[in-house]
A and B are shown apart, each in its own frame.
Chain A
Amino acid sequence: MRKGVLEFCILSIIKEGEAYPSDIIEKMKAANLNILEGTLYPLLTRLKNAELLSYRWEESTSGPPRKYFSLTDKGAEFYKELETTWFELANAVRALTRTEQEPIDNNNFNNPQ
């Protein structure tokens, strides 16, 4: 996994709404992005310690209470930064690898240029 991509994915999932770690795993699996659950927890803790995420406890019917993560303001800001760099990168890669006939469709990405 490239640097920051995993964080980017996680943050974008959490941005959609509060998320429980196994939800995140499910969603990533659904997007065909397989990661080990064991790697997710340290990542979440690091993001939380960097004050990008916050969480609250919720009682659960099955087992111990669950942590639900949500984005902080700082996290939202950081997400925006990640997003722009990601799309810059993606565009750059696409521009390099595209075949001549295929024009780039810029509209989907909020490219700053």
Chain B
Amino acid sequence: MVPIEVTAFDLLKNYTESLNRHFANEEGKEEIINDIESRIGELFQQRINKGATCITEDDVNAIIKNMGRPEEFETMDDTQTASATSSAGQQESTGSSSSSTGHKRLFRNENDKVLGGVCSGLANYFNIDVVVARIIFVILLFSGIGFLTYIIMWIAVPSSSTEQIGGSRRKLFRDPDEKMIGGVCSGIGHYFGIHPWIPRTLFLLPFLSFLSRWGHWGGFWDFGDVIRFTFSPTSLIVYIILWIVIPEALSTSEKLEMKGEKVDMNSIKASVMEEMKGVGKKAEKFGKEASTVINEKASAMASDVKNFSKRNRGGLGNVIAMIAKIFAYFIIGCVCFAFVMALFGLGVFSVGIFPLKDYVLRGGWQNFYAWGTLILFIAVPIIAIITWLIRKIARIKNNSRILSFTFSSLWAIGWVCIILLISSIVRDFKSPSRLDEQPVELVNPQVNKMVVTSSLPFTKKYYGRNWIRFEPFENLIDEDTAYVRNVYVEITKSPNDSFQVTMKKMARGNTRADANSLARLIKFEVEQKDSILLLEKGIAINKTDKFRNQMIVITVYVPVGKQVRISKGIGWPVHIGSRNWDDNWNNDYYDGEQDIRWQSDVDYTMKEDGLYTLDGRKADGWNDKRKQKKTSDTNADEDDNYRYNNEPLNKIDSIKIKLENEKQRVKDSLEKAKEKIEQQLEKFGNNSDNPVPLSAQSPFNNPVMNIN
């Protein structure tokens, strides 16, 4: 601690401020200032040791006179900096970079600009002609990258005029005095000369709507609403990035620059007077000094190592190294870009499926892991890479070690979260259930034709191919129930002359008992209405029972000689023939996709040896069809004519078939109409004395109905 007069301190503060501004463009700015400050501190100490009670104004003046005012060494600065750059290894080109000051930095050139001065800044930086730079940019513009690059650089690269010493142009800083969180908004407000609450509301607005939506929908969104859904976290991410990227206005001159006031001695003095209350800061400084000593010792050691490795590079070697560097940067850039995009996609996807997490996760720790994965594993690297890029472009150098350490450790925690999450989910899905098939009671198993349809047909068949879909989940989410369309229909031959329907419930769980009990909890209604077999729209899953890949297999046993039809609206795969679901039912889903080639809305007849279309073609089982698909991959429109793949038909035959088809269809509809009319008549005629027999105990009993 050094006792110092208030006026002397004032003077000293002014002096360091002026030094700060003078070295603003210098690379080792902090170091230079630190050196000078510690030297001043040493001189103060000497003075105290000589017996002075307090540092006076005169003392400070004497020291400053020794050190020299920035204005004084400004005159020699040009030549010095030029020689410094030339000393960095390029003595031959002495006069070429006379206009560029000191160490080269990338600026937008305000003096020679067409749009934002980006090109001329780049040209200046790389020592090429402006025209060349512009031509390159125009070429890039056609390839599509140029536009975005230009905009990004326009924003990220500082303008040359802002860097001019004492320039009255505003600079973007975070305002530590009027901050709510990080001072980003008030800094933006200062920059644009608007009230800080305007940017604040702009930031909060999407966030508020985010909250209100959360409240309204109980935490669920429709999937289509991506833009609004992702917008609010975006504003949060933007805020965080700005927080990291924008420097805080710490010194007085920075604060003045932030507010756009001209920085000169008087204005600094005026605002320093405000700060004078905190003289105690001086003590803090000495504490800081100790830590910088340690830091710089470390960095000196690091630079020693660098020295050793960076020696011996000739002229040609330099060029090759430069080319290699550019190439490496290009590749790294591509990889980074791909990585960021992949992460971003993953982020959007996981945000999209996030509302579903309550149906899968048991809560508690799993919930925690899920959040950890989302934030730490996905969001953190996105923010980190964007931040890194911006910092790289803007050439901000300080603090990056802390940042990278923070980011990497957060990401490591993210890894832990995702591993724990996946392992715990896998454990929950470990064992499959084993329940027997149950017969479904049919009202009328004797109908001539069975039409299988769902109670809520999916009007849009391609809904499932929406941009986001967590595999079996359908887009049907109510307040606290999600619908899973894990419903499969199988068609097979009936052992007797009546329709039979069985249902098999399946689920997974941590243990077989768990899985079995979960499977038993599945409620799935199958109802027969006349010749229509009505299935529920999906398996309802609520938050307490959780999603454990619950699955329903409906098997329709079709008697020989009767017809069956799967209506189009059903939307889920249909299998012909029977399979052993217990063994490999999990991967069969994808095989099932191929079975969609079984045509919906087409009538099939059951014969002794399998299903046939009405025109006499055999409907193949799923196994055969798969083989067939392999052989006939070239067939583009196989969906339409796979039935004709086996043997080529001539035109007359196909027309015949069509005619017959048409005939049958008309016949069918007539029959249906007849049925309806007769039913109506029966209802009207003998309501009381001849009620329709309700379903008997078992569908195998074949209760007789005398409709026809």
A41 CA to B296 CA, complexed, in Å: 16
What CA separation (Å) do A71 and B26 show in the bound complex? 22
- B35, A41: Cβ atoms under 8 Å? yes
A95 interface residue per 8 A CB criterion: no
A82 to B: closest C-beta gap in Å: 8
B31 lies within 8 A of chain A by Cβ = yes
Contact A38 to B35, CB < 8 A, known contacts A46-B84, A48-B28, A51-B310 = no
Q: Does A47 contact B (CB under 8 A)?
A: yes
Find B46's partner among A48, A57, A63 (CB 8 Å cutoff). A63
Tell me if B646 counts as interface (CB < 8 A to partner A). Answer: no
* Residues from chain A with Cβ under 8 Å of B635 in the complex: none
With the chains together, A87 CA to B84 CA distance in Å?
A: 20
B477 within 8 A of A: no
Chain B 13-68 residues near chain A, CB threshold 8 A: 19, 23, 26-28, 31-32, 35-36, 38-39, 41-46, 49, 66-68
Q: When the two chains form their complex, are residues A62 and B80 in contact, meaning their CB atoms are under 8 A apart?
A: no
A57 touches B91 (CB 8 A): no
| Given contacts A51-B310, A54-B307, A62 and B88 within 8 Å (CB-CB) | no
Q: Mark A35-62, 1 if CB is under 8 A from B, else 0.
A: 0111101111111111110111100101
Q: Specify the chain B residue showing the minimal Cβ separation from A74.
A: B311
Cα A50 to Cα B103 with chains together (Å)? 11
| A22 at interface, CB cutoff 8 A | yes
Q: In this assembly, does B70 line the interface, its C-beta being within 8 Å of a C-beta of chain A?
A: yes
Quick check: A38 and B28 within 8 Å, CB to CB? no
Say yes or no: A49 contacts B87, CB within 8 Å.
no
A50 x B66 contact (CB < 8 A):
no
A residues 66-113 with Cβ under 8 Å of B?
A: 66-67, 72-74, 78, 81
CB closest chain-A residue, reference B15: A38
Interface window among B71-79, B180-188, B605-613, B688-696: B71-79
Nearest chain B CB to A17 CB, angstrom units = 18
B68: chain A residues within 8 A (beta carbon): 36-39
> CA separation between A51 and B300, bound complex, in Å?
11
Which B residues are CB-close (under 8 A) to A36? 66-68, 72-73
* Interface flag for B83 (CB, 8 Å): yes
Q: Name the contact of A45 in the complex, choosing from B32, B46, B72, B76 (C-beta under 8 A).
A: B32
Chain A residue numbers with a CB within 8 Å of B303 are 48, 51, 54
**Do A44 and B35 contact each other (CB < 8 Å), given the known contacts A4-B87, A36-B67?**
yes
Interface size class of A (residues with CB under 8 A): 35 or more
Interface pair B87/A50, CB less than 8 Å apart: yes
Tell me how far the C-beta of A28 lies from the nearest C-beta in chain B, rounded to whole angstroms.
Answer: 13
Q: Is B293 an interface residue (CB 8 A)?
A: yes
A6 within 8 A of B: yes
B297 within 8 A of A: yes
Count, chain B residues at interface, CB 8 A = 50
**Alpha-carbon distance between A40 and B23 when the two chains are bound, in angstroms:** 13
By the criterion CB–CB under 8 Å, are B19 and A38 in contact?
Answer: yes
From A64, which residue of chain B is reached at the shortest CB distance? Answer: B38
Asked if B163 is at the interface of the complex by the 8 Å CB criterion, the answer is no
Residue of B nearest to A82 (CB): B87
Q: Chain A contacts of B39 at CB under 8 A?
A: 21-22, 37, 41
Would A64 and B79 count as touching, CB distance under 8 A?
no
Query: Are B32 and A47 in contact (CB-based, < 8 A)?
Result: no
* B-facing residues in A1-42 (Cβ within 8 Å): 1-4, 6-7, 21-22, 36-39, 41-42
Are B73 and A2 in contact, with the CB atoms below 8 A? no
Q: Name the A residues within 8 Å of B43 (CB-CB).
A: 63
For residue B18, give the distance in angstroms from its CB to the closest CB of chain A.
10
Interchain CB contact under 8 A, A2 and B311: no
The yes or no answer to B86 lying at the interface (CB within 8 A) is yes
Q: Chain A residues near B83: list those with CB within 8 A.
A: 3-4, 6-7
Bound CA span A37–B67, Å: 4
Give the residues in chain B near A49, CB-CB below 8 Å: 27-28, 103
Report the minimal beta-carbon distance from A50 to chain B, rounded to whole angstroms. Answer: 5
Evaluate contact between A54 and B304: CB separation under 8 angstroms: yes
A45 to B, closest residue via Cβ: B28
CB-defined contacts of A37 to chain B, threshold 8 Å? 36, 39, 66-68
Residues of B within 8 A of A (CB): 19, 23, 26-28, 31-32, 35-36, 38-39, 41-46, 49, 66-70, 72-73, 76, 79-84, 86-89, 91, 94, 103, 289, 293, 296-297, 300, 303-304, 306-307, 310-311
- Besides the known contacts A38-B70, A41-B35, A41-B39, 20 further A-B residue pairs in the complex with CB atoms under 8 A apart: A1-B80, A3-B83, A4-B87, A21-B39, A22-B39, A37-B36, A37-B68, A38-B67, A39-B76, A41-B32, A42-B32, A42-B80, A46-B84, A49-B27, A52-B87, A54-B303, A57-B296, A60-B42, A63-B43, A64-B42
Q: Write 5 A-B pairs (CB below 8 A) sorted by A numbering.
A: A7-B84, A36-B67, A38-B72, A42-B80, A54-B300
Closest 6 CB pairs of A and B: A36-B68, A63-B42, A63-B45, A38-B68, A45-B28, A38-B67
